[in-house]
Amino acid sequence: MSEKSLFAILLRSPWWWSFLIAAVLMLLARVFLPEAFRAVGMLSALPFAVLAIIAAWRQRDKPSAERLALALTNLAKHVMETIFANHGASLCSARLQCDPIELERSRLAVGKIRHDHLGQLQTLEGCYLRGRSFA
């Protein structure tokens, strides 16, 4: 099947798009076709209904955008905590709850972390923007 065909596009799209097309076709056939052709017109929506079922089956385990964003946020927090711990700073010391010397040491550590790990964070952000998983 061609990647640009309507059915290939609908298989990659959310399942409810195919279902919506099928419902609209059935409604249009029922409203606008004469009584003799209504059944045939309504059956023309059958391929889209089958396509909706196939797409729903394929997408049943696919995470939603909200779950993906939450997982990415949690991963980014974990990565940043690990980076802070590896460089001798803690998230607690990065807040304003410490003495000025500790705060300055944390600022220097944060600057070093930003410089050292900027590429990793940009890769992480790029994966999120492209919708790829990085596992």
Residue 102: count of CB within 10 angstroms of its CB: 15
pTM of the model: 0.51
State the pLDDT at residue 66.
Answer: 82
Radius of gyration for the alpha carbons in the chain, expressed in angstroms and rounded: 26
Amino acid in position 103: L
Q: Read off the tokens for 58.
A: 């394929």
Inter-CA distances, 29 with 16, 51, 112, Å: 20, 19, 66
Alpha-carbon distances, residue 123 vs 83, 86, 133 (angstroms): 16, 20, 11
What is the DSSP code (8-state) at residue 95? T
Q: How many CB atoms lie within 10 A of CB 84?
A: 19
**Alpha-carbon gap, residue 60 to 63, rounded angstroms:** 8
Per-residue pLDDT of the chain in tens (135 residues, 90 and over written 9): 788 898 899 988 899 999 999 999 999 999 999 999 999 999 999 999 999 999 999 988 887 778 878 888 888 787 777 776 666 555 554 444 555 555 555 556 556 555 555 566 666 666 555 555 444
Report the alpha-carbon distance of residue 109 to residue 98 in Å, rounded.
15
CB 26 within 8 A of CB 45: yes
